[in-house]
Amino acid sequence: MIYDGESIIRTFSKGFILFWIAEKHRFFSAILLLACLTFFQLKGYSTISESVSENEINSEKSYNPARLKWVTGAHITGFTGSMLLLNEAWYKDHPRSAFHFHNDLHDWKQMDKGGHIVSAYHLSRFSHYSFRWAGLNNQQSALWGSISGNLFLATIEILDGFSEEWGASWSDFAANLTGSASFYFQQIYWQEQKITWKYSFSRSGLEQYRPDLLGSNLAENMLKDYNGITYWLSFNLHSLTGKPEGLPPWLNISVGYGANGMLGSLSNPATHNDEPLPHFERYRSFYLAPDIDYSRIRVNSGLLQSIFTTLNFIKFPSPSLEYSRDRGFRFHWIFF
């Protein structure tokens, strides 16, 4: 091997200790994980794609111990900061309990599981690029990227397990593993991501009835209001069909899943704060729509190329065909 695996494990262990110590300070720093990984994503993608060939990146000469220390430190800093702000924003005002499990498989019509899959997939992807920047080869980067993505989300599950209100969820663990595994096996066997998990959002209008649960502003709505979220599997046609000439390399076809009419996790309450709530039918929707793989749009700017690759978790707004059991088929000229 061209890297010291024991050193990486030891450094991550120190990060866990740092997390448990720093947790008491509850400083606003959850965005650090994404910021750190995005920085190395920007650095790593342009470096690999434009300056370093595949043979070079797999050679001993490409391995950079100093960069690996930076990457490992960025993971620890981002991981720690993210946990601190998550605790500040989510857990601190809720009672704690002994660690326990809670079966939430049927909550929110499984929309929250989609969130776990998409999060694990892209955390693994960002982390993979950072390890490539440090000089690890494709297989090693895919492995450590997938481990770090799963480790981050597994820690959140552990925090849930100590919360009296929630509890850890086996189905969440499974969804996290699904997301990381879908990245890992594509990267190992195809050396590219032909099938990408994506996210889109448009305001549902239901947040006004339960702002405490669905969010009181746009940022909270984008995370909490599952009525407005759609999760997608986006298939790159050019790569999956053998890369024929004449077919744009950035053209994708995507299938989506969403749900609507939900004012509660399992059922809708009749009232909220002693005020009656309107009746909404809870239903699932399935979508078919064209999409764009931003990472396959070739531009002359390395920075712009990296930004496109970073933003590839967002589904491109496009015409869409929707199907739901209760409403049948519906066509949207533009669907977010």
Whole-model pTM: value is 0.81
Domain boundary assignment for the chain = 1-191, 194-270+279-336
> Which amino acid does the sequence have at 223?
L
Cβ-Cβ contacts under 8 Å for 232 (sequence gap 6 or more): 197, 198, 199, 200, 254, 255, 256, 257, 287, 289, 291, 315
**Residue 122 neighbours by CB under 8 Å, 6+ apart:** 149, 179, 197, 313
Q: pLDDT tens digits for the chain (336 residues)?
A: 333 444 444 434 333 333 333 333 333 333 344 444 444 444 444 433 433 333 333 444 477 888 888 888 888 888 887 777 777 767 777 788 898 999 999 999 999 999 999 999 999 999 999 999 898 999 999 999 999 989 888 888 888 888 888 889 999 999 999 999 999 999 999 999 999 999 999 999 999 999 999 998 998 899 899 999 999 999 999 999 999 988 999 999 999 999 999 999 999 999 998 899 999 999 999 999 999 999 999 888 888 888 888 889 999 999 999 999 988 999 999 998
